[in-house]
């Protein structure tokens, strides 16, 4: 009998793969959240996130899944966000230098420093919270992935 080898982490999809440009319009259902949790997919995403040094977020499209969810480090803990939305922002934007698992190099991106968000977590609980600058930036970066936007789209003069 031949042994079957299963990779412990996902391969990260990189530019110019067109799947990164497809907006994820599929709302994740409660049943799908349960399947993601129980199938080992959530655990494998966390392992993938932690397998890359300095990684702070991983969106479903980056592993080939066009559903509206991502994982990010929030207060140093991995948090899954299903059907995430920004419900309010401040009027103040700051330039951040961001890197991405799917793009080469670092890029300057203007982001709101404080945002209020809503999402469903891995335990199917709806969360509404205010995010401080670091978590706010990561959340916005991962949400961009769900909308088919990459940091390379934020080209600024002089970059």
| Catalytic residue numbers, as ranges | 142
For residue 16, whether the previous peptide bond is cis, meaning omega lies within 30 degrees of 0, is yes
The residue among 85, 86, 97, 55 whose CA lies nearest residue 72 is 55
Q: Cα(141)–Cα(139) distance, rounded to whole angstroms?
A: 5
For residue 70, the SS3 value is strand
Q: Cα(27)–Cα(119) distance, rounded to whole angstroms?
A: 11
Q: Which residues contact 89 (CB under 8 A, 6 or more apart)?
A: 112, 114, 115, 116
Q: Cα(36)–Cα(6) distance, rounded to whole angstroms?
A: 17
Strands 93-100 vs 57-59: parallel, antiparallel or unpaired = unpaired
């Amino acid at each position: 009998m031949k042994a079957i080898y299963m990779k412990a982490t996902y391969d990260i999809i990189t530019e110019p793969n067109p799947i990164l440009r497809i907006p994820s319009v599929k709302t994740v259902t409660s049943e799908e959240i349960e399947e993601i949790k129980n199938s080992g997919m959530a655990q494998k995403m966390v392992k993938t996130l932690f397998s890359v040094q300095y990684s702070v977020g991983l969106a479903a499209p980056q592993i080939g899944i066009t559903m509206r969810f991502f994982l990010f480090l929030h207060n140093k803990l991995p948090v899954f966000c299903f059907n995430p939305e920004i419900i309010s922002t401040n009027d103040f934007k700051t330039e951040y230098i961001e890197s991405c698992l799917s793009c080469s190099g670092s890029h300057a991106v203007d982001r709101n420093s404080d945002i209020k968000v809503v999402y469903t977590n891995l335990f199917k609980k709806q969360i509404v919270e205010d995010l401080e600058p670091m978590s706010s930036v990561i959340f916005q970066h991962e949400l961009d992935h769900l909308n088919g936007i990459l940091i390379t789209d934020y080209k600024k003069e002089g970059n």
